[in-house]
Amino acid sequence: MHAASDPECGPASHAGSGGPGAPRHPARSLVSLATLTGGLTELALVGAHALIYPLGTRTERLRPDPRCRPGEQPPAVRALFADDPLAARVPVVLVHGLIDNHSVFAVMRRSLRRRGFTSVCSWNYSPLLADVARGAADLGVHLEQICEKTGHERVHVVGHSLGGLLARYHVQRQGGDRHVESLVTLGSPHQGSVLAHLLPTPLVRQLRPGSALLQELAEPAPGIRTPVTAVYSDLDQVVLPTRAGRCDHPDLQARNVLVRGVGHMSLPFHRTVLDEVAATLAGRRRPLAETPAPAAVA
């Protein structure tokens, strides 16, 4: 399985509510070539993912690759870590979404390793999970184990869909910022999703806009050290409205990245997203609050 790409799907980092980084008007989005291409790609990837799903039922063990050293890698890899050569050795933990497993990261895992990240692993949580806070606490235990095994004090976390929300809850409400170096979320319902009204399970009810859980995440959170990058798409079929994939909290070092024409399940496979994740983990992307640029575009 290869990374999907689309020349019309470049990312836009932004903090404001308008400008060129804002999602397209729904009517225009429905008839665009990027939307058609993205929709077909999404269908193909969903089918391919269904085939490899059984291979991801077991949690992946962390296997650091001692052969991967930035100084011995191709020029493109060395350039990625030019600002911080040690960034390649910080462990990366990938967290999947609802009713999924780590097979969704098949392409991203390989991509990060090829780009020089030496320690990349995935974490599976129970498909019977009924509470975000409980899942976040379990994630915290796993991250601490990764730190003990690798000798690193901090790790990177990349979460797709619900996985990103679990990680954010751990960072923001359970003291997880002490060992999470950076958090990247892909299509995570930071502001909920109206589709959550269709399934009245305890966990899904927590994902409804305005739920008690989301109100808790909206509470003040001063002093959080972990920067958050929220990648969201104007073609997300699960997080609706699509702007709900933004992380807009005044106390967080949040950076929102819009990609166009990329479906919800396509996000972990898309080349533009893979590039963005790698650059962020390598320290080459900063929250907009630190960038002296116009609010709409960085």
The string of pLDDT tens digits covering residues 5-26 is 443 445 665 443 344 445 555 4
Confidence of residue 65 (pLDDT cuts 50, 70, 90): low
Q: What is the percent of the chain with per-residue pLDDT over 90, rounded to a whole number?
A: 63
For residue 26, give Cα distances in angstroms to 14, 20, 23: 19, 15, 8
What pLDDT is recorded for position 73? 65
* Residues 263, 231: Cα–Cα separation, whole Å: 12
Amino acid at 51: L
What pLDDT is recorded for position 242? 97
List strands edge to edge, sheet with 92-95: 12-14, 254-259, 228-233, 180-186, 155-160, 92-95, 120-123
Q: What CA dihedral angle connects 220, 221, 222 and 227, to 10 degrees?
A: -130
What pLDDT is recorded for position 84? 83
In sequence order, the β-bridge partners of residue 230 are 185, 256
What pLDDT is recorded for position 77? 82
- Residue 158 · residue 202 · CB < 8 Å: no
Output b/e per residue, 140-161; b: 16+ Cβ within 10 A.
Answer: bebbeebeeebebebbbbbbbb
- Residue 149 · residue 62 · CB < 8 Å: yes
- Of the two residues 167 and 67, the one the predictor is more confident about is 167
- Cβ count near 118 (within 10 Å): 20
Concatenating the DSSP letter of every residue in 137-173 gives HHHHHHHHHHHHHH--S-EEEEEETHHHHHHHHHHHH
- Of the two residues 52 and 278, the one the predictor is more confident about is 278
Least confident range of 36-50, 181-195, 217-231:
36-50
What pLDDT is recorded for position 7? 36
Tens of pLDDT, residue by residue over 73-115, are 677 787 888 778 888 999 999 999 998 888 899 999 999 999 9
Give the start-to-end residue ranges of the domains of the chain: 29-53+70-181+190-234+251-285
Is residue 292 reached through a cis peptide bond, with omega within 30 degrees of 0 on the bond before it?
no
Q: What is the percent of the chain with per-residue pLDDT over 70, rounded to a whole number?
A: 71
- Of the two residues 261 and 290, the one the predictor is more confident about is 261
What pLDDT is recorded for position 50? 63
* Residues 85, 70: Cα–Cα separation, whole Å: 7
Given the structure tokens 């269904």, which residue do they identify? 50
- Of the two residues 166 and 292, the one the predictor is more confident about is 166
The answer as to CATH 3.30.1360.170 being correct for domain 29-53+70-181+190-234+251-285 is no
DSSP category for residue 62: P
* Residues 199, 87: Cα–Cα separation, whole Å: 41
* Average model confidence (pLDDT) across the chain: 83
For 225, the token pair is 């050290």
Q: Kindly state the average pLDDT of the residues 48-74.
A: 58
Strands (E), the chain: 12-14, 92-95, 120-123, 155-160, 180-186, 228-233, 254-259
Indicate if the pLDDT at residue 221 is higher than 70.
Answer: yes
Pairing of strands 254-259, 12-14: antiparallel
Q: Kindly state the average pLDDT of the residues 237-258.
A: 97
- Which stretch of DSSP H or E encloses residue 46? helix 33-52
- The angle subtended at Cα 244 by Cα 25 and Cα 106, nearest 5°, is 100
